[in-house]
C-alpha cells in the first residue's frame, strides 16, 4: 500500500496519529523556514507542513523544489491546525511531514488545474487527461457514475434485465448515416455501428424477455453541431404487454428516482401535452414550461384593419412579456434584430406596450386604434405594464420563430430558474412528416412506431394527419427521452414500409428478419430511450454535454488527444480488400 | 395494463380471485370437453383450464385451435388444482378461463421451444429470438444480468468510478488486428474499435481518477475459433498508488463477492503460483488445480539405461494417475493415440503400471529393471494400483503435451468436479516472449506492463528472463482475468518500445500522447481485466460462451439472423471515399 489514507478523509479525530498520503501538488507556499503544500487527490485536499528544525535541511529543500502537479508520497503526524480552514473537509488538520518521496515529477501544465482555468477549448481537449483533473470536470463524471448506478438500481428493482446487444450490426439506409466497418472475413461486406439497438430490443420482446434495458453506446455519422457527438450513450428500454400509460408510469418512476437519489429533489406532477397543443401554445414540441408565456392566436381580432402583413398572414400569434412595457426603443429594436437573424428567420416583430395608464403604444398604431389594441390585450390577458410581442406569416415558420423569441424573453426576464426542474410528457406525435427534399413522408420517430388505431383509416387518405403512439419526455425545454408503442404484426409493419417508400424487396432485405420474427408470436410492446449524456448535463446544471463525457470528440469528429482518426497501413487496407479513392 | 399478474406469481393464496395473464402457449392438451393450456412467460408457467359448460362453445373452440407459441391474453378465476404439480411454482393453482384474446398468432416454430431442443446450431442462430425463449438460454442471460449488477455493486462500494471510454479510437499495429471505421469527415483516415480501453484507463489514472472500472465491449478482428467472438465484454479496472498485492486483494474480493452473491459459494483461500512453477508442475500457465496430478521430472533416474529416446531428451516428465493401473491395453493404446494427435503433438507415451503385488509393468521393460521402475515410482510417490504416464523431448513441447494429457486424465478419472471452484493467481509472468515468425520479442501481456525492478538489468542481456509485474486469475483451468502493474514514466516506456522493435518515430506517432501524459505527474498504477463472457459461462457451468451472449456471431463473424455483414450502397462508399478492390 502506497498510502494509509486518501487526501479527503483525515479529521481532527486522527490528530496525533501517523498517516501516509499520496497525491498531486496543488500549491506550494514557501515562507523560508516553513513550507506548506496542498496535496490533492480525487477525494480532497490535505495540507502538508514542512518546518525547519523538525526535519532535515535536505527534506526542507526537497519540499521547496516541488512543482505543481508533482506526484508525491509523504508520511507524517496528523496535527490539529492553528488556523482552521472551514472550506476544506480536512481543514481542521494538517500533516507535520517526516518523509517525502517524489513518485513522479511533472512538467509545468499547459493550463491551470483549477476550477476556473486559463486553458482554451482546444488546449483542454488535447490535454484532456489534465482537464479531467479539474474539480468541475471530475465532479461531472462522478455525477455520471452515480446516475448510471442509480438507473441500474431502479431498473433492476423493476425486474428489467440488462442485455448487451451487438455493436457490429447491419447498415440500413433509413434514418441517419451509419458508421460502417469493413469485414475482412467477408470481403466487400460491411458491418454498421448501431444508431440504436432498436430492432434488437424488439427481438428481445419477441423472445419473451418482457423487460429489457441497457445503458449503451450508439453512433451516428452526422455533421456535428455543438454538443453532438458521433458516439453517445442511451438508457435504452423496452417492455412487453404494455400500453402507453404503463410506459409513462414506469419511466416517470425512473426519473423521479434519479432526481430524488441524485439531487434530493421530489418531482411532483408530470403533465402531459399533446403534440398539436405543444405546437399551438409554444410553437415547439419540447416546451420549457418553467415559465408560462403561452402563444395567443390573434387572427380573429387583428385581421381586416388594413395592415396587409397581418391580413395576408396565415397566422397571427403573440406572447405576453409580463412587466416588460418598460422596454426602451433600443431594447425593442434589439428584439427585432434578434428575430430577423437567419437562424430565427422572421421578417419582423410587432409590439404593443400596455402602458400603466391604460393606454397602448404599438409599432402598428397607424393601422389599429386604442380600442383594437385593447381587444388584443384582453385576448392575451395582459395587464398594464405588460409587453405584447406579435408575429405573423405561414403557420409553422411563424410558430417556430415565436418559440425562439419566447425562450429568448425567458432568458431576458430571468424566468428560467436553473434550480427548478419542470417535467412534461409530449404525446400524440404525428406518425409521418413530409420531407421536401425527397418529396416523400419520413417516419417522425422511426419506422417501427405504431400508428394510433383510431387514425389507421387516414393512412391512405391523409398520412400526415395520422397520430402515433409516440411520446417524448421534456425537462426544462430539453428533450431527454422519447419512445413509442411499436408495431408488432407483419401486416402493419409492411404497410408502414410501403408508406415510407420502400419496395417490398427493400423492406425484405433490410428488415425481413424483424417481420419474420413478428410471425412467431410477437407480443404487444413499446419502449423508450433517454439521451444519457444530455440527462447528465441537465442534472449537472450545464448546457455542455462535453464536460459529461470523459473523452469527447471535437466538431470535426476528431479526438485531438490521441490524434484519431488517422491513416492506416496499406497492409490493413489490403487485408480488408478496400482502396482509398 | 394487459395483465394483472405474470405467469410465475399466482399461488394458492390467490385462489378465488380473478386474474388476467398474458404469455405464450407452451402446450395444449385437448380432451374434448376439457382443454388445458400451459401459458408461459419469462417468470414461469401457469395452467389454464377451458371447461365445457363453464364457457361458450365458441370460446372452447378457440382454445382448441391455439397453436404453439401463440401469444394470448386470458382472464379467469384462480382455482386450487385437483392434481397439484410440485415441479411448478404455480403448480397449486390453475385458471378457470372466462375470456381469451389471441394477441398474435404464430407459425409453427422451426424447432422445439423446450429445454432440450431438436434445433441444430445454424437454425437456432438464424432464429435466435426463438432460441432465446428456451429456459437454458434465458437463464444464462439472467445470470449475466445478475453478474453485471453485482459486479457494479461491489465496484461502487469500493469507490471505483464507472467511466465510459470511447469506442471510436485509433488503430495501432501492436497486438491483434483492429476493426477499423472509415471517417467521412476526415477522408482517407480511419477510427479503430478498441481491443481494450488500456490507454484510456491509464490516462484516467494520470487524471487522478484513482479507481476506474467499466463493463465494456471490446473488439478483435481475428480468425475465430470456437467460442471466440469478434466483439466481447470485459470487466475493465485500474487503480492508482497500488502494488500488485493491493490489486490481487481488491479483485479477490470481487470474485469472492460474486461467488457468494450469485452462487451462494464461499471461496476460501486463493493460492498464488509463479509462472515458472505453473509451467514446471502443470505444463500450463492456467492450471486446473481441482485435482493434483503434478508433473514429476525424471531426468535423474531415467537416463543412462540405454533407452535412447529418454537419453536424448531434454526433459523426461511424468504424471501419476491414481488407481489407474487397471487400465487395459486398449485403454493405454487409446491414450497413446490421443497424445499423438496433431493438436497434442507428442511422439509417444511411456506407461508404468504399479501393480497391487508391488511389481511393475511398463512399456519400457526392455530397458528398465523392476528396481529402476521402483525408483521412478518412489520419486513420483506412487502406490500400488497407480499408473505412471511419462513423456520426453524438448522441454516446452513436452510440458505442453503432458498438460493436455493431464487434463484428459482428469476427465477420464472424473477428477473435475463441476460443482467445485478452485481459484488461483498465476504471477511473475515473463515480460517478453520470443516470436519465431517475426524473429523478435513481443510483449507477453502488452507493451505497458512494468518489468520487475529486480530484473531490469536483464533487459539488455537476457530479455526473455525478465519477469513482469503481471498476474492472471485462473478458475478451474480457465484464465478469467489478467493484469499488471503498468509503466508510469516516459523513460521506461520508451525503453520498452525500443525492446519491442519500435523506432522512436513509430513509438511517438502511436503512443506519443501516453508518453507525454506520463510527463505531467503520472501516479504508479495497475489494473486488471476479466473476460466477462467467459466468467459468466464458468458461473453457469457451461463450456460455451455463446449461450451467455444474447446475439452472438458464428465462426465466420456473421450474424446469420440479421444477415450481417452485408454490402453497402455505392453512395455510402462514395461518401467515405473508399472503393472495393
Q: How far apart, in whole angstroms, are the C-alpha atoms of residue B362 and residue B374?
A: 11
Q: Which residue of A has its CA nearest to B577?
A: A581
> Looking at CA atoms only, how far is residue A399 from chain B in angstroms?
34
pLDDT digits (tens, 9 = 90+) for B43-71: 999 999 999 988 999 999 999 999 999 99
What's the ipTM?
0.95
The pLDDT assigned to A106 comes to 98
pLDDT digits (tens, 9 = 90+) for B106-161: 999 999 999 999 989 999 999 999 999 999 999 999 999 999 999 999 999 999 99
Determine contact: B204 vs chain A, CB below 8 A. Answer: yes
Q: Cβ distance B295 to B280 under 8 Å?
A: yes
Q: Cβ distance B368 to B361 under 8 Å?
A: no
- Who contacts B341 (Cβ-Cβ below 8 Å, separation ≥6)? none
Q: How far is CA B303 from the centre of its chain?
A: 41
The pLDDT assigned to B176 comes to 86
pLDDT digits (tens, 9 = 90+) for B265-311: 999 999 999 999 999 999 999 999 999 999 999 999 999 999 999 99
> Looking at CA atoms only, how far is residue A159 from chain B in angstroms?
10
And the C-alpha cell for A276? 398539436
The pLDDT assigned to A176 comes to 86
Q: Cβ distance B424 to B270 under 8 Å?
A: yes
User: Can you give the pTM of this predicted structure?
Assistant: 0.96
- Who contacts B175 (Cβ-Cβ below 8 Å, separation ≥6)? B195, B446
Nearest to A145 among B161, B524, B553 (CB): B161
Mean pLDDT, range B539-553, rounded to an integer:
94
And the C-alpha cell for A421? 426542474
Nearest to A164 among B69, B185, B233 (CB): B233
Q: Which of residues 11-50 of A touch B (CB under 8 A)?
A: 22-24, 40-43
A42 with B209: Cβ contact below 8 A: yes
Which string of DSSP letters, residue by residue, matches B165-228? PPSSB---SSSSPPPEEE-SSSTT-EEE--S-SHHHHHHHHHTT--EEEEEEEEE---PPPTT-
- Hey, what domains does chain B have and what are their CATH numbers? 12-104 (2.40.50.140), 139-272+424-548 (3.30.930.10), 291-412 (3.30.1360.30)
The strand pair at B18-30 and B44-51 is best described as unpaired
Phi, psi for A238 (deg, rounded to 5): -155, 145
A interface mutation test: which of B239, B532, B562 has the most A CBs within 10 A?
A: B562
Mean pLDDT of chain B: 95
Distance between first and last Cα of chain A? 55
Q: Cβ distance A487 to A493 under 8 Å?
A: yes
Determine contact: B207 vs chain A, CB below 8 A. Answer: yes
Residue B19 has pLDDT above 80, yes or no: yes
Chain A residues with beta carbon closer than 8 angstroms to that of B2: 241-243, 524
Q: Which residues of chain A carry a pLDDT beneath 50?
A: none
- Who contacts B439 (Cβ-Cβ below 8 Å, separation ≥6)? none
pLDDT digits (tens, 9 = 90+) for A92-138: 999 999 999 999 999 999 999 999 999 899 999 999 999 999 999 99
Mean pLDDT, range B70-99, rounded to an integer:
96
Residue B223 has pLDDT above 90, yes or no: no
And the C-alpha cell for B61? 373452440
The pLDDT assigned to B228 comes to 84
> Looking at CA atoms only, how far is residue A160 from chain B in angstroms?
9
The pLDDT assigned to A75 comes to 97
Q: Give the number of other Cβ atoms within 10 Å of residue B166's Cβ.
A: 23
pLDDT digits (tens, 9 = 90+) for B462-512: 999 999 999 999 999 999 999 999 999 999 999 999 998 899 999 999 999
> Looking at CA atoms only, how far is residue A219 from chain B in angstroms?
9
The pLDDT assigned to A435 comes to 85
> Looking at CA atoms only, how far is residue B204 from chain A in angstroms?
7
Nearest to B106 among A3, A520, A556 (CB): A520
Mean pLDDT, range B456-465, rounded to an integer:
91
A interface mutation test: which of B123, B131, B566, B572 has the most A CBs within 10 A?
A: B566
Helix (H) and strand (E) counts in chain B? 17, 23
Helix (H) and strand (E) counts in chain A? 17, 23
Angle between helices B532-539 and B135-157 (to 10 degrees): 120
And the C-alpha cell for B502? 519500435
The pLDDT assigned to A481 comes to 97
Q: How far is CA B394 from CA B316, B391, B515, in A?
A: 9, 10, 41
B138 with A208: Cβ contact below 8 A: yes
Nearest to A567 among B22, B189, B488 (CB): B189
The pLDDT assigned to A518 comes to 98
B109 with A559: Cβ contact below 8 A: no
Strand partners, B342: none
pLDDT digits (tens, 9 = 90+) for A25-71: 999 999 999 999 999 999 999 999 999 988 999 999 999 999 999 99
Q: How far is CA A552 from CA A116, A127, A177, A226, B169, in A?
A: 20, 12, 20, 12, 11
Output helix, strand, coil percentages for chain A, rounded to the nearest 5: 30, 25, 40
The pLDDT assigned to B422 comes to 97
pLDDT digits (tens, 9 = 90+) for B514-533: 999 999 999 999 999 999 99
pLDDT digits (tens, 9 = 90+) for B338-373: 999 999 999 999 999 999 999 999 999 999 999 999
Determine contact: A488 vs chain B, CB below 8 A. Answer: yes
- Who contacts A460 (Cβ-Cβ below 8 Å, separation ≥6)? none
- Who contacts A414 (Cβ-Cβ below 8 Å, separation ≥6)? none
Q: Which residue of B has its CA nearest to A127?
A: B517
Which 3 state secondary structure label does DSSP give A19? strand
- Per residue, the 3-state secondary structure of A510-557, as one string, reads HHHHHHHHCCECCCCEEEEEEEHHHHHHHHCCCCCCHHHCCCCCCCCC
And the C-alpha cell for A560? 485531438
The residue whose grid cell reads 455483414 is: B565
> Looking at CA atoms only, how far is residue B198 from chain A in angstroms?
13
Which 3 state secondary structure label does DSSP give B64? helix
The pLDDT assigned to A512 comes to 94
A145 with B163: Cβ contact below 8 A: yes
Amino acid at each position: 500500500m502506497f498510502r494509509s489514507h486518501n487526501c479527503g478523509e483525515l479529521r481532527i479525530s486522527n490528530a496525533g496519529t501517523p498517516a501516509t498520503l499520496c497525491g498531486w501538488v496543488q500549491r506550494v507556499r514557501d515562507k523560508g523556514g516553513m513550507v506548506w503544500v496542498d496535496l490533492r487527490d480525487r477525494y480532497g485536499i490535505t495540507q502538508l507542513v514542512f518546518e525547519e528544525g523538525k526535519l532535515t535541511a535536505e527534506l526542507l529543500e526537497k519540499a521547496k523544489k516541488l512543482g505543481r502537479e508533482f506526484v508525491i508520497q509523504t508520511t507524517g503526524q496528523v496535527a490539529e491546525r492553528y488556523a482552521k480552514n472551514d472550506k476544506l473537509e480536512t481543514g481542521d488538520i494538517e500533516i507535520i511531514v517526516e518523509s517525502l518521496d517524489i513518485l513522479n515529477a511533472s512538467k509545468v501544465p499547459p493550463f491551470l488545474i483549477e476550477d476556473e482555468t486559463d486553458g482554451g477549448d482546444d488546449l483542454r481537449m488535447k490535454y484532456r487527461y489534465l482537464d479531467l483533473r479539474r474539480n468541475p470536470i471530475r465532479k461531472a463524471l462522478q455525477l455520471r457514475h452515480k446516475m448510471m448506478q442509480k438507473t441500474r438500481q431502479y431498473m433492476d428493482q423493476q425486474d428489467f434485465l440488462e442485455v448487451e446487444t451487438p455493436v457490429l450490426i447491419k447498415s440500413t439506409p433509413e434514418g441517419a448515416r451509419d458508421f460502417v466497418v469493413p469485414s475482412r472475413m467477408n470481403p466487400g461486406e460491411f458491418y454498421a455501428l448501431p444508431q440504436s439497438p432498436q430492432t434488437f430490443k424488439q427481438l428481445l420482446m419477441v423472445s419473451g424477455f418482457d423487460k429489457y434495458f441497457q445503458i449503451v453506446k450508439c453512433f451516428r455519422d452526422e455533421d456535428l453541431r455543438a454538443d453532438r457527438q458521433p458516439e453517445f450513450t442511451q438508457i435504452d428500454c423496452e417492455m412487453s404487454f404494455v400500453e402507453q400509460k404503463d410506459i409513462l408510469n414506469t419511466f416517470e418512476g425512473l426519473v423521479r428516482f434519479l432526481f430524488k437519489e441524485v439531487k434530493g429533489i421530489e418531482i411532483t406532477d408530470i403533465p402531459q401535452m399533446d403534440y398539436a397543443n405543444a405546437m399551438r401554445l409554444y410553437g415547439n414540441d419540447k416546451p420549457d414550461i418553467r415559465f408560462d408565456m403561452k402563444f395567443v392566436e390573434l387572427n380573429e381580432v387583428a385581421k381586416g384593419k388594413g395592415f396587409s402583413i397581418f391580413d395576408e398572414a396565415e397566422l397571427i400569434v403573440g406572447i405576453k412579456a409580463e412587466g416588460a412595457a418598460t422596454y426602451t426603443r433600443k431594447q425593442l429594436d434589439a428584439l427585432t434584430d434578434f428575430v430577423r437573424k437567419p437562424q430565427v428567420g422572421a421578417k419582423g416583430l410587432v409590439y404593443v406596450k400596455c402602458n400603466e395608464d391604460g393606454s397602448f403604444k404599438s409599432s402598428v398604431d397607424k393601422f389599429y386604434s386604442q380600442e383594437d389594441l385593447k381587444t388584443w390585450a384582453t385576448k392575451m390577458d395582459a395587464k398594464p405594464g405588460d409587453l405584447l410581442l406579435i408575429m405573423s406569416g405561414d403557420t409553422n415558420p411563424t410558430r417556430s420563430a415565436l418559440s425562439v423569441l419566447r425562450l429568448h424573453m425567458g432568458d431576458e426576464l430571468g424566468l428560467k430558474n436553473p434550480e427548478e426542474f419542470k417535467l412534461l410528457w409530449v404525446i400524440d406525435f404525428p406518425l409521418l412528416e413530409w420531407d421536401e427534399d425527397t418529396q416523400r413522408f419520413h417516419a417522425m420517430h422511426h419506422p417501427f412506431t405504431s400508428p394510433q388505431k383510431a387514425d389507421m383509416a387516414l393512412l391512405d387518405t391523409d398520412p400526415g394527419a395520422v397520430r402515433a403512439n409516440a411520446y417524448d419526455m421534456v425537462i426544462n425545454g430539453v428533450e431527454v427521452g422519447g419512445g413509442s408503442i411499436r408495431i408488432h404484426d407483419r401486416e402493419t409493419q409492411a404497410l408502414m414500409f410501403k408508406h415510407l417508400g420502400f419496395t417490398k424487396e427493400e423492406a425484405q432485405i433490410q428488415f425481413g428478419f424483424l417481420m419474420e420474427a413478428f410471425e412467431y408470436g410477437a407480443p404487444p410492446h413499446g419502449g423508450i430511450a433517454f439521451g444519457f449524456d444530455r440527462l447528465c448535463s441537465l442534472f449537472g446544471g450545464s448546457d455542455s454535454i462535453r464536460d459529461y463525457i470523459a473523452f469527447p470528440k471535437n466538431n470535426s469528429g476528431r479526438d485531438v488527444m490521441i490524434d484519431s482518426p488517422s491513416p492506416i497501413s496499406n497492409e490493413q487496407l489490403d487485408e480488408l480488400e478496400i482502396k482509398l479513392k
